[in-house]
A and B are shown apart, each in its own frame.
Chain A
């Protein structure tokens, strides 16, 4: 050993530190190249003609004038392509040839040399329709004689889910108090800053390279192929950075195969980008649901039963929205200890637009209902909202009726911390007294809690993620992961895991996860799973690389690998930190020495969760997380305006990996939920979207964003990477009902249908004043 090596390096951890997202500087300085910025040689512009009808037979489509326009290279209608079905239940078509079923339907598409020519060509296409009787509400769609949306579903029934546990009738008969409530949750949309965009390019052998915003590149190939009639193996997915996804890019939507079909027809690359108006009308929404919930409670405050009927407006086609009962029912049946539970969810086809997945995946809706009902039941039995919840909160080791194993249950801790940090009970009582004091400003405090899968969700046969990790001759690491970066911050988290295990700096790690030809398989970014699943796979790969390196180092010295550690680019003695050799030097010795050893490892991690059985029972996730959020509000009883003053979020996280990242995730989620609570609603009238613009679709802006206080409950999740749980969705799930409960605390009026717009609140107060 040289003298220069005689330095001691202390063990430092990067887990729990604040690491800026590696993509942040480019985004902040405008250097990020989105698909929108891409230009390929000979590239054409694609454009879709959407229908202006909600339910109509297509009599004819005249494309002659459009085709004759100079600069137009292709005009396609459903008659020009094979009738290929796609979508989770194969009920959708890229271009509709026989009839249109909703306002977002695609009836023709053009590829042209410029945006202007494409627009002109679209305007020249003449479609003749015969209007059909439409149906817009789910309950009407299920009534006898209702218009039929899909001829192969004459009863308009799309999907049905049912779960039952315990004897509901007996539990109801034995309950001291039984109440029934109805809720209705609205259409909202993701509002990605980057509108939908895709670029398709076929090579001479018929293989497709698609530049996509998808958040599930591997199954995307499987889902896109049927719409094109090509083999999934012939699709390569490139993922440039995206301007937001939030679940909206977890499916294939018609514009994607349409763009590929235009590329195929013209033998040129074609890019298709939505306008903001198209983004509002023609991209998926969150699933709207009507709920009827019966609940029982005994006078001692113990819950006795919960029975839920959910009616989902499927819209005209099926994306993931109508499958959200799978996650939704876990909350109804498993949040708080309820001995007898029952859930029925039915989705009915209508002539409305349709829902996809959206951060929270059905649990946003379920939590609005359960958290509101918990407050009402507490009042029914005369308990405060905190004591009532604590009485019914599960403890570690309990298993829910659907088989969610709560081996590390922090629900009670979250509630207690949330109540303590906010001085909840004294404020709650004071606010009730203040209701009757003259004046138009009323103050409220409310709490809500929920549960969500925190270790993936095994809704596919595998919930795994693959990793390839290599170290080069300069001790630079490249981590090729199946996990996509859609802005959520996985690149930083995976880098931290590699840093921790290999003792190399952040700047020396490259994450590659934007090419399906390179990356190993992953289900996709959903279900709060990526930190947990991809993190575990990266951790295992990093540990394998670490072992290989330390074994080689041990071979060169007279200590065992276990006595060595990797710190700050050096192999060191673990006990005293004394550096033995620089890591890059060791790697070169391994590579170019007698053993010719290169460090490159692979891993495929499959969590120890179970798919549900036919009865919806099974430990769907390798971990479960809870959260308790408190909202404090001010209500103007004149105008009905609700101002959220503060959100205090207590989140069960297992372990924080990137503190900056988790804070950003939670603040962003809270903002999404704030909009759901107070202002966001895609207004639908007779199947048409009335407010397809940021002017009239009201996402929260900076001035109404409240003070946010975050608390992390760290418990070291046994299965999680570094002890972490996945928590991305809970911050977008819990705040809305906390706000509604706070409004109730302020003015004594309960709201069963978000958003609580000023008009809705003012009307309710006006009506209450006449009672």
Chain B
């Protein structure tokens, strides 16, 4: 369809008012939207809403132990955040593996989440942090906000729980507990500009060899990014030794349901899952 209206709101309220009738495409950084609409994979809806001028949706802050990252915060902003580098380095690490400098400069965090790619690079570390997303809507003449756990946000490849009249305004998560260590690995023959064949994050608190607060998130091995709950259960409260690593690797292998595609075979994705969980546990557990 051809775009009939183009709107440039400068506040969340203005944006959700524009969105209230649905039938709108939201433009943030455009790094996914542009190639998708150019290739025909995605069609523009009647109204194009350019949200890039909503300043209240930018920035990284921490308040009373809760971090808030505005949805329009770019991947470069995350990469360059001294606060995140000090407190939540796994997010910075993931940003450092994200596409190329030019794309990072434009791509927004909310955009990476709403694109809902099983391989979305910023999603895995946010899953390790038990992040929630905040969605704004315009209901009965007032601004309405709701929160949803990020893990529940994804309903399929490219599909989310966000309604057509909603806007993802920010991402929030609690400050990690003391001793929490989170690490991220991403595959690809190229160190840059690569869509993951598998991406994985493992986080835990390790005390005298025993793991707690274990979180395992894996991308590109299922229709959505996943939390590997069974693998987490295998590890939680246990002493990390070689046999536990084997057990965790086996559990992770059972939790993934990879496919063959142009980038990798299911076999290789399963293989990488095993390699990565071992490597990540080796780092997180030490």
Contact = CB atoms under 8 A, between A and B. Distances in A.
B193 A638 contact: no
Nearest to A703: B191
Interface residues of B, number: 24
Interface in A637-660: 638-639, 641
Contacts of B190: 679, 698, 700-701, 703-704
B122 to A, nearest CB: 18
Contacts of B197: 759
Interface stretch (A206-214, A566-574, A689-697): A689-697
A303 to B, nearest CB: 35
B187 interface: yes
Tell me whether chain A's interface is mostly helix, strand or loop, or mixed: loop
B53 interface: no
A766 interface: yes
Contacts of A759: 197, 264-265, 268
B262 A762 contact: no
Most chain A beta-carbon neighbours within 10 Å: one of B39, B193, B267: B193
Contacts of B262: 683, 690-691, 696
B192 A639 contact: no
A762 B271 contact: yes
Give me the 6 closest cross-chain CB pairs, A-B, nearest first.
A638-B275, A759-B268, A703-B191, A690-B262, A679-B189, A703-B192
B189 A641 contact: yes
B263 interface: yes
Interface of A: 277, 638-639, 641, 678-679, 683, 690-691, 695-696, 698, 700-704, 757-759, 762-763, 766
A557 B232 CA distance: 96
Interface of B: 35, 39, 100, 187-195, 197, 262-265, 267-268, 271-272, 275, 278-279
Contacts of A679: 189-190
B268 to A, nearest CB: 4
Given A698-B189, A701-B193, A766-B271, 16 more contacts: A277-B39, A679-B189, A679-B190, A691-B262, A695-B35, A696-B195, A696-B262, A696-B263, A701-B191, A703-B191, A704-B189, A758-B189, A759-B197, A762-B271, A763-B267, A763-B268
A374 to B, nearest CB: 27
A757 B264 CA distance: 10
Nearest to B191: A703
- Give the secondary structure class of B's interface: loop
A534 B194 CA distance: 42
A488 to B, nearest CB: 26
Contacts of B263: 696
A739 to B, nearest CB: 13
B187 A758 contact: yes
A700 B190 CA distance: 7
Contacts of A701: 100, 190-193
12 contacts: A639-B187, A639-B272, A641-B189, A679-B189, A683-B262, A690-B262, A695-B193, A701-B192, A702-B192, A763-B267, A763-B268, A766-B271
Contacts of A277: 39
Contacts of A700: 190
A20 to B, nearest CB: 26
A698 B188 CA distance: 10
A678 B188 CA distance: 12
Nearest to A756: B189
A347 B268 CA distance: 34
A639 B275 contact: yes
Contacts of B192: 701-703
Contacts of B264: 759
Contacts of A762: 268, 271-272
B267 A638 contact: no
Contacts of B278: 638
A763 B268 CA distance: 8
A763 B267 CA distance: 9
Nearest to A685: B262
